[in-house]
Amino acid sequence: MNRVSCISLKRIAQAVPKTALLAIAMCASSLAQSPANVRFDAEGLAPRSIEPLTEKTIVRDYAVAWRDLAAALDSSNAGKLSEEFTGFAKDKFNQRIAQQRQTGIHVHIVDHGHQLKAIFYSTDGAAMQLVDRVQMEIQVFDGSKLLDSRDGSHEYMVLMTPGSDRWYVRDLEEVAPQAP
């Protein structure tokens, strides 16, 4: 459901008050399940340039991966990790989610957007290394009790590899902030 549909539903809800809660719930659910906002920069990429379709696919798949990662961490349900994760990344997040389940603590991510910069694309097209500068709020909960909330910038090194119909996040490692 897109934002236009949500606006239309809100107008209907104003005319028919009984549907107001349903319309708002449908819009909130739709917007919560939207992929992350990813801006992509491949300027100066070497040793190979990127094709427009590849760029579009990487942005789509990376955004879906983050949306699904946030849902999996929030619910402590590894089954919500999408097919976009594989290898080290999938193993690492499966372990983290298992630890969350054991402790009863879970993480909620409020994603404010990604600046994804391609820094290496192999000549055979088998791998791409990227840097992601993401703005997000990370909230830590014990059940429904908020324990901690931190809003800020994070930087990740990302390794993506192509498959038959998508690009996979093979590794996603947070880069430690540099001391000033």
pLDDT digits (tens, 9 = 90+) for 50-104: 999 999 999 999 999 999 999 999 999 999 998 999 999 999 999 999 999 999 9
Residue-wise pLDDT tens digits, 134-171: 999 999 999 999 999 999 999 999 999 999 899 999 99
Confidence (pLDDT) at 118: 96
Q: Kind and range of the H or E element at 125? A: none
62 C-beta neighbours (distance < 10 Å), count: 25
Q: How far apart are CA 108 and CA 30, in angstroms?
A: 17
Strand order, beta sheet including 128-142: 38-41, 105-121, 128-142, 145-162, 167-175
Q: Return the C-alpha torsion angle 74, 70, 135, 53, nearest 10.
A: -170
